[in-house]
Amino acid sequence: MTEVLEAQTERGSDVTRISHWIGGRSVAGESGRSGPVFNPATGQQTGAVDFASIEEVDRAVKAAREAFPGWRATSLSKRSELLFRMRETFHQHREDLARILTAEHGKVLSDALGEVARGLEVIEYACGVPTLLKGEYSEQASTGIDVYSIRQPVGVVAGITPFNFPAMVPMWMFAPAIACGNTFILKPSEKDPSASLLIAKLLHEVGIPDGVFNVVHGDKVAVDGLLDHPDVDAVSFVGSTPVAKYIYERGTKAGKRVQALAGAKNHMVVLPDADVDQAADAAVSAGYGSAGERCMAISVVVVVGDVADRLVGAIQERLPKVKVGNGLDEGVEMGPLITREHRDRVASFIDKGREAGATVVADGRESAPDGEGFFLNPSLLDNVKPDMDVYLEEIFGPVLGVVRVDTYDEAVRLVNENSYGNGTAIFTRDGGVARQFQFDVQAGMVGINVPIPVPVAYYSFGGWKDSLFGSSHIYGPEGISFYTRGKVVTSRWPDPATSKVDLGFPQTR
């Protein structure tokens, strides 16, 4: 199933050329610009991804626009059948996809399989599109008049996605968008772009008509081309906060519907009554899983009261046991970071924390695997204060901070005063306090003794504050609503004998 990629491997080179997918086929880029793609576990360049020009973006938009009338007219039962087939095909090829994710992102294979599985859940939800698009009907709203609502696709949708979930986040977008009758253009992260091509190939095999799903690779040029294009109707974005804000502002200024999911700084509050071992297991799993490169990763542990020493000790004890290495190797639990630059930036927070007065409990640079891979082992900073950079900035790597506070109120204030509001979690055995936390806390996704509360596919995913620009969360019911426009029809079948001119405003009674 990797033949699309293999076919493009340049003769005599180990570097694979990664091209666009437009109108149902692979299209080599002609802009003359490209970017390097690495295997982060070895540090070697494995790919060169074409960067689209404005003309190439325009070609993809044209393909999507031309495919739209036929696709939106395709019956719901046919679309549903294709989605069921999509589910089966992606399920069969889940390991092919996962291997590509590990090779370009670095996450361990089991985690990559988990990513595909969570994306598949959204395809499964989209299989129910005939039910999801059902409207409402009011008979005899006025005498002889019926009123009903329908939902119709918005048109051409662009999806711009981050490096950390190169399969799942596109699946969050294209599955509901296509199910609702839209056509789609994916602009994946240029850091790990190959999964998008396997996705395109699989959708082609499934029988999704040419032009319904397209991929343009690239950087800001391609993104701006999509944001400014008059024939793109809606934009879904997932990525960092500064870019999300930019996408939202530029896209809405150009008259598009935009949802932009952004960065995070997720707090895990641990109360004195919590099970310390359970909380430590959760902090390590959620802090260092996928090398901390998850938007729902726990980045700050807020410990309340005198449980702090025990909890920090329990986390510290677990760190040397986390096996770091190449994600394809048996038993490895944590892989490298995405690029050398990102690894160095993440590691710099260890020094920044120390200089600002935090206690460095574990410095992951000391134990990182040898070689050219972009590794950083789990790192832990205690006594972090809310005015430190290490607390304020999204680190997006395996550097976990611990903030000690005296009371529950202080803990909640800390979470609520943070500029981000993506996910948060509380660990306690007290149901009443957990319920109060759910009421008080300003974040879009809350876990109660669950450290990574990514909602199941039939709820929607999204944050508050600087973690979201626009009003719509992604997938689930809000995804269906974002990818459709409502229409209300008021209908009368009058008896011609009763017809007359009436210039008054329509009355219902």
Contact residue for ligand NAD among 262, 395, 426, 445 (CB under 6 A): 262
Q: Give the Cα separation of 209 and 154 in Å (integer).
A: 18
Q: Give the Cα separation of 169 and 95 in Å (integer).
A: 17
> Residue 9 burial by CB count (10 A; 0-12/13-18/19+): exposed, middle or buried?
middle
467 binds ligand NAD, rule: CB under 6 A = yes
Choice between 155 and 423, CB closer to ligand NAD: 423
Give the list of residues 6+ apart from residue 158 with CB closer than 8 angstroms, or none: 184, 185, 186, 187, 226, 227, 232, 234, 235, 236
Classify strands 145-153 and 137-142 as parallel, antiparallel or unpaired: antiparallel
At its nearest, how many Å lie between ligand NAD and the CB of residue 361? 24
Q: Give the Cα separation of 300 and 392 in Å (integer).
A: 10
By CB under 6 A, which span of 101-109, 159-167, 310-318, 323-331 interacts with ligand NAD? 159-167
By CB under 6 A, which span of 185-193, 195-203, 352-360, 427-435 interacts with ligand NAD? 185-193
Calculated CA dihedral for residues 338, 299, 170, 331, nearest 10 degrees: 60
At its nearest, how many Å lie between ligand NAD and the CB of residue 360? 24
Two structure tokens written together for 266:
């997720």
CA quadruple 480, 482, 483, 488: dihedral sign:
positive
* 127 tagged catalytic: no
Choice between 241 and 383, CB closer to ligand NAD: 241
Q: Give the Cα separation of 477 and 445 in Å (integer).
A: 15
Residues touching ligand NAD: how many (CB under 6 A)?
A: 27
* C-beta separation of 23 from 211 below 8 A: yes
Reported as type and span, the H/E element at residue 98 is helix 94-104
At its nearest, how many Å lie between ligand NAD and the CB of residue 486? 25
Q: According to CB under 6 A, which residues from 77 to 96 bind ligand NAD?
A: none
Residue type, 427: F
Choice between 194 and 383, CB closer to ligand NAD: 194
98 binds ligand NAD, rule: CB under 6 A = no
CA distances for 256 relative to 31, 155, 353, 483, angstroms: 27, 11, 41, 12
At its nearest, how many Å lie between ligand NAD and the CB of residue 188? 6
189 binds ligand NAD, rule: CB under 6 A = yes
Choice between 181 and 401, CB closer to ligand NAD: 401
Contact residue for ligand NAD among 39, 161, 290, 484 (CB under 6 A): 161
192 binds ligand NAD, rule: CB under 6 A = no
At its nearest, how many Å lie between ligand NAD and the CB of residue 389? 16
162 binds ligand NAD, rule: CB under 6 A = yes
Number of residues that make up the chain:
509
Selected catalytic residue, list 295, 312, 362, 425: 295
* C-beta separation of 388 from 360 below 8 A: no
Beta bridge partners of 147: 138, 490
487 binds ligand NAD, rule: CB under 6 A = no
Choice between 171 and 243, CB closer to ligand NAD: 243
264 binds ligand NAD, rule: CB under 6 A = yes
Q: How many CB atoms sit inside 10 A of residue 418's CB?
A: 24
In the sheet with 213-215, reading across from the earlier edge strand, the strands are 25-27, 20-22, 213-215, 183-187, 156-160, 234-238, 257-261, 468-469
By CB under 6 A, which span of 3-11, 90-98, 187-195, 351-359 interacts with ligand NAD? 187-195
Choice between 206 and 443, CB closer to ligand NAD: 443
Q: Give the Cα separation of 57 and 187 in Å (integer).
A: 10
* Binding-residue pattern over the window 209 to 248 for ligand NAD, x denoting contact by CB under 6 A: ----------xx--x--------------xxx--x--x--
* Dihedral pair phi/psi, residue 23, rounded to 5°: 60, 30
Choice between 80 and 460, CB closer to ligand NAD: 460
Contact residue for ligand NAD among 83, 178, 295, 314 (CB under 6 A): 295
284 binds ligand NAD, rule: CB under 6 A = no
429 binds ligand NAD, rule: CB under 6 A = no
Interaction site with ligand NAD (CB under 6 A): 160-165, 187, 189-190, 219-220, 223, 238-240, 243, 246, 261-264, 295, 394, 396, 422, 463, 467
Catalytic residues: 295
